[in-house]
């Protein structure tokens, strides 16, 4: 059977993991192709038995259009990813035959195997099952040449009310073992890929049993061994830069020293989200404004350039909350930080799913535009506001 997986740029990390899961499943007679644009997708669908798509909530309209076009091919249409997991019935209504919810490394290959064998299950929702151990499934497909950042941690204990991570992957972190990470690195380095990046909700919390208290020995073991392996091949590792980030209270002299000793990046992505103490509690962030300013101070001390994430238009946000956030942003910016701007979007499967929030006020928009014009901020808040 020919399986088409739409390899959209924004979803490649998830799709790489599914490719790795298919490698491990070794389904007889399966031909898998990965078109990366609509024209290549149309060509690939000819003679396909199934087509799979992964998408975010902000991509659901595009996914519906792709499903309508793919329907003409006669292929079984499969959806997965954050939006499908949180809103499976809506996703079926978008035109898909099957919706795989949650973690797909086990359920997706089983579905593909059944389709390839000519024994399709009844269309509808296929519930995924969590991986007990991230080492059980590769982070990408070596056989199909799909490489990318290595997922080292899945799950988050903080359950921020706007974020899907804890609600999709659970509140107890699962960490890929250091030998498991090195195995994935070796596959990349053997192909001449020299820049190694990681996927994790909080880079500095690697190895922590609960994701709250740091495990510095585990973090140093990972960074030191990964650095040594990469260096032997002329490569580098990047820790706490995209596509991972860190929490502000985990920015400490010890974690920054480890990052500077072993990682190549001197930029660090830090989740601040709001400058209002009241809003930090309301969204269950689990840190304080002081944690944010202290993280900025420590970054200056260690000559690390911080990028702070902020979300505007959160549910319950008042004019006073906006003032506090803008004041904090100005303070951080004046001290040399870059601001990464986001407009709140109510994501399905989160406590804020049914609350659109107040949106970005005119004065906040004008403030952000001034920051952008001065080269002190960037972000996709315009697109996020339209999707909102």
240, 300: one domain: yes
Please tell me the predicted confidence (pLDDT) of residue 241.
94
Q: Which of 127, 149, 184 is the last residue of a domain?
A: 127
Distance CA 105, CA 138 (A): 9
Please tell me the predicted confidence (pLDDT) of residue 387.
66
| pLDDT for 376 beyond 70 | yes
Per-residue pLDDT, averaged over 33-45, amounts to: 95
The total of structural domains in the chain comes to 2
| pLDDT tens-digit series, residues 194-209 | 999 999 999 999 999 9
Collect all residues with Cβ–Cβ distance below 8 Å to 310 and sequence separation of at least 6. 272, 273, 274, 275, 325, 329, 339, 340, 341, 342
15, 87: one domain: yes
| pLDDT for 149 beyond 90 | yes
Domain extent, residue 56, equals 2-127
In three-state form (DSSP H/G/I as H, E/B as E, the rest C), the secondary structure along 134-195 is HHHCCCCECCCCECCCEECEECCCCCCCCCCHHHHHCCCCEECCHHHHHHHHHHHHHCCCCE
9, 93: one domain: yes
191, 227: one domain: yes
| pLDDT tens-digit series, residues 212-237 | 999 999 999 999 999 999 999 999 99
Buried b vs exposed e over 49-79: b needs ≥16 C-beta within 10 Å?
bbbbbbbbbbbbeebbebbeebeebebbbbb
Question: Could you count the other beta carbons within 10 Å of the beta carbon of residue 25?
Answer: 16
The answer to whether the Cα torsion of 120, 125, 127, 128 is positive or negative is positive
107, 140: one domain: no
């Amino acid at each position: 059977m020919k399986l088409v997986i739409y390899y959209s740029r924004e979803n490649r990390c998830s799709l790489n993991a599914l490719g790795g899961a298919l490698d491990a499943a070794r389904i007889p007679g399966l031909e898998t192709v990965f078109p990366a644009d609509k024209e290549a997708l149309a060509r690939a669908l000819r003679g396909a038995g199934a087509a799979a798509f992964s998408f975010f909530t902000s991509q659901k309209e595009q996914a519906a259009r792709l499903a309508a076009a793919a329907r003409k091919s006669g292929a079984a249409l499969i959806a997965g990813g954050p939006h499908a997991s949180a809103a499976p019935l809506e996703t079926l209504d978008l035109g898909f035959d099957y919706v795989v919810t949650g973690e797909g490394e086990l359920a997706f290959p089983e579905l593909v195997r059944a389709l390839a064998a000519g024994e399709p299950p009844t269309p509808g929702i296929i519930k995924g099952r969590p991986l007990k151990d991230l080492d059980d499934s590769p982070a990408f497909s070596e056989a199909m040449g799909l490489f990318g950042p290595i997922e080292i941690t899945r799950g988050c204990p903080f359950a921020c009310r706007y974020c899907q991570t804890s609600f999709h992957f659970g509140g107890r972190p699962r960490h890929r073992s250091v030998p498991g990470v090195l195995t994935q690195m070796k596959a990349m380095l053997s192909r001449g890929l020299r820049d190694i990046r990681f996927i994790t909700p909080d880079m500095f919390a690697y190895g922590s049993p609960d994701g709250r208290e740091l495990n510095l020995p585990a973090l140093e073991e990972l960074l030191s061994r990964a650095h040594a392996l990469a260096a032997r091949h002329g490569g580098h590792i990047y820790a706490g830069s995209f596509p991972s980030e860190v929490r502000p209270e985990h920015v400490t002299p010890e974690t920054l020293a480890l990052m500077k000793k072993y990682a190549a990046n001197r930029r660090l992505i830090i989740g601040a989200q709001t400058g209002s103490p009241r809003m930090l509690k309301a969204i269950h962030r689990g840190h304080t404004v002081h944690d944010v300013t202290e993280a900025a101070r420590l970054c200056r001390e260690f000559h690390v350039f911080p990028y702070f994430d902020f979300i505007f238009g959160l549910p319950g946000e008042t004019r006073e909350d906006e003032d506090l956030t803008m004041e904090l942003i100005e303070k951080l910016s004046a001290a040399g930080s870059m601001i990464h701007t986001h407009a709140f979007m109510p994501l399905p499967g989160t406590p804020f799913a049914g609350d659109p929030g107040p949106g970005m006020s005119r004065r906040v928009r004008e403030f952000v535009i001034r920051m952008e014009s001065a080269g002190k901020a960037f972000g996709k808040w315009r697109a996020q506001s339209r999707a909102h």
